[in-house]
Structure 1
C-alpha cells in the first residue's frame, strides 16, 4: 500500500485543512426583539441588506430590528370586484340597454326558466 493513504480518518468528521491564510468576510451582529420579549442576534455580512423583520429562533414569531430599521410599506391595491371588471368592458349606458332588452325577453316568455313562461294567448278566429 502507498504510504500517502490516510488511515483512520473518519468520513466527514474531520477536516485536515487549516485556517491559515484565509480571510473571513467582515461580519456584524444584528439584534432583534420578538413580540413575546425574546432578544436574539443574527450574524450577517457587513455588505448584506439588513431586514427589518426576522423570525425568532425560540418561538417563531416576528422579531423587529432593534437598530431602528423600519418595515418597507408597500401600497395595497384595492380589490377588484366583478362590477369593476364589467365596467372595464362596458359603459353603464350599454349595461342599462342590455338589461332592458333582457327584461323584455324575460317578461315576454322568450327566455328564462320554464315555470315563468306564459302560455301563448290564443287568437280569436274570425267567424
Structure 2
C-alpha cells in the first residue's frame, strides 16, 4: 500500500497543470489614495466595473480612486426614533389619556413594583 502513495506532493499545495495554451484576461492597474495619504494599486480586469472606493490595505480606511471617479451619493433616510414610530400608531391625545390612566393605577397601588405599593387601610366594622 505504501507504494501507491504520491511522494513529494502536498494536498492542494500545487497544481500539476502547466500554463501552456491558457490566455489570461486583460488586466489594468487601478490606483487609490486613502485619507491617511497611503497610495496603492489594485489589479483588475479591463472588463470590470471600477469601484470608486477600495479599503486601504495598510490602515483599513476607504481609499478614493485616483482616476477621479466619485462614489455615488445615496439618499439618506431620516432616522426614525421610537417616538416617531409611536406617533404612527397613536395620537398625542391618546398617549396623554393612557399616561393619565396608568399614573392613576400606579398611584392607587394597583400596578407597579411591590415595594411602591402602599398598604391599604382596612376598615373594620364593629
TM over 0.5: yes
Superposition deviation, residue 113 in structure 1: 4.7
Structure 1: unaligned runs, 5 residues or longer: 1-8
Is the radius of gyration larger for structure 1 or structure 2?
1
Alignment partner, residue 91 of structure 1: 91
> How many residues are paired up?
116
CA distance in 1, matches of 2:79, 2:60: 30
Instruction: Give the match's secondary structure for 2:80.
Output: coil
Note the alpha carbon deviations across 1:37-90, whole angstroms, 9 max, x for none: 232211111221111122223443332100111122333333332222222222
CA root-mean-square deviation: 3.2
TM-score between the two structures when normalised by the length of structure 1? 0.66
Structure 2: unaligned runs, 5 residues or longer: 1-6
Note the alpha carbon deviations across 1:9-35, whole angstroms, 9 max, x for none: 953557452433x33222221111122
Alignment partner, residue 118 of structure 2: 117
Change (3 A) 1:18 1:48: closer
